[in-house]
A and B are shown apart, each in its own frame.
Chain A
């Protein structure tokens, strides 16, 4: 007991003489620490980084272009086209004798680009729509949410395919079409968050300072919902990549000679009895990428979701 008292006195004196520096931690620092502790998520992030580097710089390591046909191999692609270091086709060739390494790199660019760009489109639209709807409230909110409800009841996978059928299979169109139809969930989530934010004191303070509503939404509401937006974004990217692969698998996505992982898989499936590597290589890239994005998404949710604390 006396010992404890002694210790307390010491501590009190220490405080008096040399005040401890207490540093507050922001939400983001907190989240980063928690995320870093999640080994699977960090590892996944590294793998995603490597795959991205592969997609960007991979073409410098290959002697071949993704559209050039190796005429020697074309005579018997199932035998001569096997992966080998001797002829420079590290991943082998496809059925037309085109270098699969270069094609996987090119497909990766398209797949990742579709994933990231269409998610960004969806997130920007969804966040602004949801924040506006929740912030204005009242009848406007009701109408805006009713529109979301109606739209989310439409079978979008089918409509996107119809859109591409009507307007042609252009890659930019794929981004925009997929992105423009996937913002609905995001809008709902952001609206819910905004509703709980808009009566907080700092919003009132902003009003008192004479900030116009539009700026309040952009400068005060949106930054505060970014955490949850980030979580959903990280889970949205893999589903976008999957969606693009799905469309390409059906032969309705990217157009030859350009390719994506989904298109490569679809080609690989046709010849899988004879040349399994044509399926296995793009498939492993796709699956590993999807796996990693899912782990990162889970990690982010654990790090940023207030419920977990």
Chain B
């Protein structure tokens, strides 16, 4: 088991290297230099700036320096906000994004599984149809549509919750972003859970359990629950991607100041180091989470040999 976990984590290393290389290469292909202004700087000043940011070295040396800094957790200086490093800007944003993302993940998993199970247990009844129709709408409505609709209803028409901002993470400011981000995921998980539980309920070992005369509750919770969870667990990685991409929309729309906002602002302002920093950070989280989901799957599924 420990071997399996270690191997899976080691396998993430080449992926991480490719990620940094791709980001770095893209950053260097970008046209123009961040320090080219309309007036043009005197040649000596430009040379000094280039030397300061190591832009005068050959590209592979620059990459090694970048990689070395990255290993020490340094994402480099922001090219746009000259007094700040990318770290100064990104870490507070990461906290915000993690709070919103964490709550919506939690909500997606609990509500999604509960509704999915409910639909499966009442298959082809009113409850099933209702849940699945709502879920289909949740699948189709993207986050960037959900967010404005929620704001329109709860902030503008009924004036119940603030339409944006962060304000130190008070719960009123959390509700709409979390719900907007979670809806799509709830719907997906609900659909997966329903399909999976239906398949499990038709299998032989459930029939055996019924034949033994086990109470219904025990059959569902003790026998059907674990195999039902397998497809749900394998959806965890895409779920996490959804939360990361969703956070871009959420941060921009609600102005919560998360990493998504920094990413988009960086992209619009051509603050390359910021964009790269966020990409690498997100990539690292993404790769580690993928590994984690794999390991979890290995723990749950007895058929996987490691």
Contact = CB atoms under 8 A, between A and B. Distances in A.
Interface of A: 149-151, 153-155, 157-159, 161-163, 165-167, 238, 242, 245-246, 249-252, 262, 265-266, 269, 272-273, 276, 279, 283, 286-287, 290-291, 294
B283 A155 contact: yes
A246 B267 contact: no
Report whether over half of chain B's contact residues are helix, strand or loop; otherwise say mixed: helix
Contact of B136 (A153, A279, A291): A291
A162 B136 contact: no
Interface in B18-61: 18-19, 22-23, 26, 29-31
A154 B267 contact: no
B248 A250 contact: yes
Given A153-B290, A252-B268, A162 B249 contact: no
Given A246-B144, A251-B264, 4 more contacts: A154-B19, A155-B286, A157-B244, A262-B144
B140 A290 contact: yes
Given A154-B283, A252-B264, A294 B145 contact: no
A162 B275 contact: yes
A192 B197 CA distance: 25
Nearest to B152: A272
A36 to B, nearest CB: 22
A287 B136 CA distance: 11
18 contacts: A157-B245, A158-B263, A161-B263, A162-B23, A162-B26, A162-B276, A165-B30, A165-B270, A166-B29, A245-B144, A246-B142, A252-B268, A269-B253, A272-B152, A272-B156, A273-B152, A279-B148, A294-B140
A198 B274 CA distance: 48
B15 A251 contact: no
Give the contact-size bracket for chain B. 35 or more
B89 interface: no
Contacts of A252: 264, 267-268
Given A162-B26, A294-B140, A150 B249 contact: no
A189 B168 CA distance: 46
A162 B279 contact: yes
Contacts of B30: 165-166
B21 to A, nearest CB: 11
Contact of A165 (B22, B141, B275, B286): B275
Interface of B: 12, 14-15, 18-19, 22-23, 26, 29-31, 136, 139-142, 144-145, 148, 152, 156, 241, 244-245, 248-249, 252-253, 263-264, 267-268, 270, 275-276, 278-279, 282-283, 286-287, 290
A245 B249 CA distance: 11
B26 A163 contact: yes
A290 to B, nearest CB: 5
A276 B140 CA distance: 21
Contacts of B263: 158, 161
Contacts of A287: 140-141, 145
A154 B286 CA distance: 8
A245 B26 contact: no
B283 A158 contact: yes
A54 to B, nearest CB: 19
Q: Which 8 A-B pairs have the closest CB atoms?
A: A269-B148, A249-B144, A153-B15, A290-B140, A166-B30, A158-B279, A157-B245, A150-B15
A291 B22 CA distance: 35
A155 B282 contact: yes
B140 A245 contact: no
Contacts of A265: 144-145
B182 to A, nearest CB: 17
Contacts of A286: 145
Contacts of A238: 140
A294 B142 CA distance: 13
Residue of A149, A162, A276 with most chain B CB atoms under a 10 A cut-off: A162
A163 B286 CA distance: 19
A200 B78 CA distance: 58
Contacts of B244: 155, 157
A250 B22 CA distance: 23
Contacts of B144: 245-246, 249, 262, 265-266
Residue of A161, A238, A252, A276 with most chain B CB atoms under a 10 A cut-off: A161
Contacts of A162: 23, 26, 267, 275-276, 279
A218 B241 CA distance: 34
Contacts of A246: 142, 144, 245, 249
B160 to A, nearest CB: 16
Given A273-B156, A290-B140, A283 B145 contact: yes
A158 B268 contact: no
Contacts of B264: 250-252
A47 to B, nearest CB: 13
B289 to A, nearest CB: 10
Contacts of A167: 29
Nearest to A283: B145
Contacts of B145: 265, 283, 286-287
A273 B14 CA distance: 49
Nearest to A149: B15
Given A150-B15, A153-B290, A249-B249, A165 B148 contact: no
Contact of A158 (B29, B31, B141, B282): B282
A99 to B, nearest CB: 23
A150 B268 contact: no
A84 to B, nearest CB: 23
Given A153-B15, A158-B279, A279-B148, A291 B245 contact: no
B14 A150 contact: yes
